[in-house]
Amino acid sequence: MVRFPKKITVKLAQREGANALRSLIDNGHLIDFSSNDYLGFARDASLNERTSEILADKRKIRNGATGSRLLTGNHSYYTALEAKLAAFHQTEAALVFNSGYDANVGFFSAVPQRGDIVLYDEYIHASIRDGINLGNAKGFKFKHNSLTDLERRCKVERSQSTSNAEIYIVTESVFSMDGDSPDLKGMAEINEKYNCFFVVDEAHALGVFGKKGAGLIQQMGLEEAVFARIVTFGKAIGVHGAAILGSGSLKAYLVNFARSFIYTTGLPPHAIALISAVYGKLEEDNQTKKAQLHENINYFEQQVESLNLKSLFIQSVSAIHCCVFSGNDRVRSMAERFQNEGFDIRPILSPTVPKGEERLRICIHSFNTKKEIRKVLQLLAIFTEEV
């Protein structure tokens, strides 16, 4: 047997002892209340047909990108998609990355410079934290969704920093582990007051909020207040990849300095054509799917109220609803009971969330039925009483 390092053996054992060891499971046969496919695009057969039509129009077979985008991987599908994204999201330019993780790591490791400050919400996504850690700027967290603490940090940094230090304020428009949203208008006002750069990750708002699902920033008319938006295609868009939206100068800078963009093979034509096909659906008939999603969210909230479960849930108007059950053992057991009843609901364990804030994360979709939604909540009421 090949020798294994003792230090990482110990770390695995510690995680297993805390009942926090992650593993890969396939619950595809269960009713989906866990995926990020909020609008059901990942299971939409018509998108395969649209994608084939887009590829056929080019009359050129190319199964892979063949290289990084700065070498041979920048095929014409990219040019068309980025123009479509810029127009759809009412911004000057868009740059596609291979994933949301790549986009955030690329941006935050390259854009804030040495001597700059990044102020980020304490619940910000791991990919943003990783990007900040890879860069040369200093990062400081502020209390979750707290305008008061954000402004306090801005005052401190403006009083202590050199005159040429830039400050970046970073948040998500919908938080992935809570489902809640910050006061984006209030944050934009603080951003302007202290002459900062506002950066918003719209991963879980895209497709769910705004006209045609364009996101919360456009719904609130804050496009001009935001320096950069990150939109990811692995949630409501139902495919893969991401884009950073901003100025032409920002795009040019990222092409030259974002290492997660420069040093990786580009997405293949089929992946880019598929993203384009989904955006075509957003422009045409998303209102039906989006309206059904919000009808289901409203029904979920009504049932939570009627079953006296409101105290269990973190407040949310998004597709993500979380109820906290402290302890990995407890939340794992609750999730397994749902799965045994045929519902795919997953536990969110520490250290993904802070110890003591372990939770069940219930995701609502346009394709969930009211009968399924009510049954899930009825089971939750029963399981809660029995624990």
HEC sequence for the chain: CCCCCHHHHHHHHHHHHCCCCCCCCCCCCCEECCCCCCCCHHHCCHHHHHHHHHHHHHCCCCCCCCCECCCCCCCHHHHHHHHHHHHHCCCCEEEEECCHHHHHHHHHHHCCCCCCEEEEECCCCHHHHHHHHHCCCEEEEECCCCHHHHHHHHHHHHHHCCCCCCEEEEEECCCCCCCCCCCHHHHHHHHHHCCCEEEEECCCCCCCCCHHHCCHHHHCCCHHHCCEEEEECCCCCCCCCEEEEECHHHHHHHHHHCHHHHCCECCCHHHHHHHHHHHHHHHHHHHHHHHHHHHHHHHHHHHHHHCCCHHHECCCCCCEEEEECCCHHHHHHHHHHHHHCCEECEEECCCCCCCCCCEEEEECCCCCCHHHHHHHHHHHHHHHHHC
In the prediction, which pLDDT does 62 show? 78
* Domains within the chain, CATH numbers bracketed: 31-42+285-386 (3.90.1150.10), 46-281 (3.40.640.10)
Per-residue pLDDT of the chain (387 residues; tens, 9 = 90+): 889 999 999 999 999 988 888 888 887 789 999 999 999 999 999 999 899 888 887 666 678 888 999 999 998 899 999 999 999 999 999 999 999 999 999 999 999 999 999 999 999 999 999 999 999 999 999 999 999 999 999 999 988 866 789 999 999 999 999 999 999 999 999 999 999 999 999 999 999 999 999 999 999 999 999 999 999 999 999 999 999 999 999 999 999 999 999 999 999 999 999 999 999 999 885 578 999 999 999 999 999 999 999 999 999 999 999 999 889 999 999 999 999 999 999 999 998 898 999 999 999 999 999 999 999 999 999 998 865
What integer pLDDT is reported at residue 162 of this predicted model?
67
Q: What is the pLDDT of residue 386?
A: 67
What pTM did the predictor assign? 0.94
pLDDT for res 153: 96
* Per-residue model confidence (pLDDT) at position 104: 98
Residue 209 near residue 180 (C-beta atoms within 8 A): no
Contact 355, 19 (CB under 8 A): no
Amino acid 370: pLDDT: 97
